Amino acid sequence: MTKPVIFGVTPEFLAREGLGASIAEWEDGQRAETGPGSFEWWYFDAHFDDHSTAVIVFATKPILERSGPLKPNVSLTITRPDGTKIAQFPIFSPEQFQAAKETCDVRIGPNWTKGDLHTYQLHVELEGIAADLTFRGVVPPWRPGAGKSYFGDLEHYFAWLPSIPYGTVEGTLTYDGQTHSVTGTGYHDHNWGNVGLNQVMDHWYWGRAHIGEYTLIYVEQIGAKEYGYTRMPVFMLAKGDQILTGDGALLTMKASDFTPHPGGRAYPRDVDFHWQNGKDTIHLGLRQPKLIEGVSLLLTFPAWQRFILRLFANPYYFRFNANLELSIDLNGIKTVEHGPALFEIMILQGKKHP
């Protein structure tokens, strides 16, 4: 029997979770237990004016090890201006993890991040690389309803909070023996839950962009076979610091022109998202994707385990920069914008991958 997926977007779910229409500072604090069964991570990424980028994640455990004990880890991936990358993904001992519940204040070893939904600071120092950055939100924090999807019942869930859908970033990156002053734009979100994403999700497409006055978050999630391959779309469009719509139920996606990847998976060269509410329409056309990253999630396991696990599954992660054409005809706004966009594909099972 197919299990249900329940979207926590109605006022009843806000009341159930003790949430209001406005996001409170405690929502970006620690929300999940750290023991077996639960996971949590705080994600930051930034694109700088010198064409370098940084992605930073503070996590309670690796994504495929939800059932294990607390295994805190910090990842820092720096892409140099010439497009080459350097990254570190160390694991720390459980006693090196601390997190506050009333606000975002996370410490893993010498690495930390703290913030109040508007301004965030972080410090990461790993082997050969470091980041000291300050993020400031331009678009206010947002979530679709309670920000939770429940799987099978109301006790098993995956939650998401984009604390900074779009903001500015400044600070320093250290790599290749030099410290570089950087300024640019950034994003921060927070995820937690108590379900194995590889068990409840078949795959997802997730992206964001800021073009002209407009900020977008666009997501197509497909549940696993056990959950009827249920679609779980998410969408947000903002102009300046005003959110124009957050109704993901009206979003559809089509992917085409798939290209094989040496890792045994394939990715599309054309991705289209379409949102429509009566005569109001928003269309996103993603073209000419440039592959930034393509990696098997099995790399977090020892070689002997990877060999065995690959017999059953090959979960894969792709990350791209692409050209975006954004067409808006909404509430008297009619415009066509062009610019860069970021999107990722997470293939956990891939049985229903388009």
Q: Which of 127, 154, 133 is nearest to 3 (CA)?
A: 154
Query: In the numeric block, which tokens belong to residue 303?
Result: 């070689």
pLDDT tens-digit series, residues 174-206:
999 999 999 999 999 999 999 988 889 999 999
Residues 140 and 85 placed together within one structural domain of the fold: yes
pLDDT tens-digit series, residues 202-256:
999 999 999 999 999 999 999 999 999 999 999 999 999 999 999 999 999 999 9
Structural domain range at position 211: 200-354
- Domain of residue 165, CATH code: 2.40.370.10
Residues 121 and 265 placed together within one structural domain of the fold: no
Residues 333 and 258 placed together within one structural domain of the fold: yes
Provide the CB-side half-sphere exposure for 335 (13 A, CA). Answer: 11
Label the pairing between strands 104-108 and 97-99. antiparallel
Give the pLDDT confidence score for residue 293 in this predicted structure.
84
Number of structural domains the chain divides into: 2
Residues 143 and 263 placed together within one structural domain of the fold: no
Give the pLDDT confidence score for residue 304 in this predicted structure.
39
pLDDT tens-digit series, residues 64-76:
788 999 999 999 9
pLDDT tens-digit series, residues 306-348:
333 343 456 888 999 999 999 999 999 999 999 999 999 998 8
Per the model's pLDDT, the better-predicted residue between 50 and 63 turns out to be: 50
- Yes or no: say if 220 and 205 are a contact pair by the CB < 8 Å rule: yes
Residue 189 lies inside a defined structural domain of this protein: yes
Residues 226 and 241 placed together within one structural domain of the fold: yes
Residue 181 lies inside a defined structural domain of this protein: yes
Task: Report the percentage of the chain scoring pLDDT > 70.
Answer: 95
Residues 35 and 151 placed together within one structural domain of the fold: yes
Local structure of 306: helix, strand or coil? helix
Domain boundary pick from 156, 173, 195? 195
Give the pLDDT confidence score for residue 134 in this predicted structure.
98
Domain boundary pick from 179, 195, 211? 195
Label the pairing between strands 73-79 and 104-108. unpaired
Give the pLDDT confidence score for residue 141 in this predicted structure.
97
Q: Is the pLDDT of residue 1 over 90?
A: no
This model's pTM is above 0.95: no
Residues 170 and 217 placed together within one structural domain of the fold: no
Give the pLDDT confidence score for residue 313 in this predicted structure.
54
